[in-house]
Structure 1
Amino acid sequence: MNIQTEKLELMKLLLNTENPKVIQAIKRVFQKEKAADFWNELTVEQQQEIQEATAEINRGDTTNYESFMVKHRR
């Protein structure tokens, strides 16, 4: 069965239900899915900063936490 057929079957089930608990459960699934992807809520600049930081980490361009903090402590 392909994805479009699955969607149609789910639509039929949803249209035929009179159980509000089922409808609420389905809504929660979609709300969780939407809430889980925060990436799309970030600005382009924030996404670029994260991508650059990830690239730096992958290249090994990191600093030890303690040596970094020594410079910033009094």
Structure 2
Amino acid sequence: MDIQTTKLKFSKTILEDENSEFLQRVADFVQKEKNDFWSELTLTEQKEIKRGIEELDEGKRISYESFLKKIS
């Protein structure tokens, strides 16, 4: 079954179902799956990632080999 057929069948099931508990579970599942990993990171982790991106944008880079030597 292709993805479009699956979507249509799923949509039909949702539209025809009157079980509010089932619909809430589906809604909760969809929301959980849509959560962006960014919001699950700590502020410290977010700041470190932003700092790393800024450094890359400024041209501050090292080769992978240099990095490996540095941490070994």
What is the TM-score with the length of structure 1 in the denominator?
A: 0.54
CA RMSD of aligned residues (A): 3.1
Q: Is 1:62 equivalent to 2:70 in the alignment?
A: no
What is the TM-score with the length of structure 2 in the denominator?
A: 0.55
Amino acid at match of 1:64: S
- What residue in structure 2 maps to residue 26 of structure 1? 27
Distance in 2 between the 1:72 and 1:43 partners? 24
Cα shift at 1:72: 4.7
Distance in 1 between the 2:53 and 2:32 partners? 28
Say if 1:31 and 1:70 are closer, same or farther in 2 by CA, change over 3 A: closer
Say if 1:67 and 1:31 are closer, same or farther in 2 by CA, change over 3 A: closer
**Alignment length, in residue pairs?**
58
List aligned pairs for 1:5-16, cutoff 5 A.
none
Cα shift at 1:18: 1.6
Cα shift at 1:43: 2.0
Amino acid at match of 1:54: I
Identity %: 36
Structure 2: runs of 5 or more not aligned = 1-14
Say if 1:71 and 1:44 are closer, same or farther in 2 by CA, change over 3 A: closer
Amino acid at match of 2:68: M
Q: Which runs of 4+ in 1 moved over 6 A?
A: none
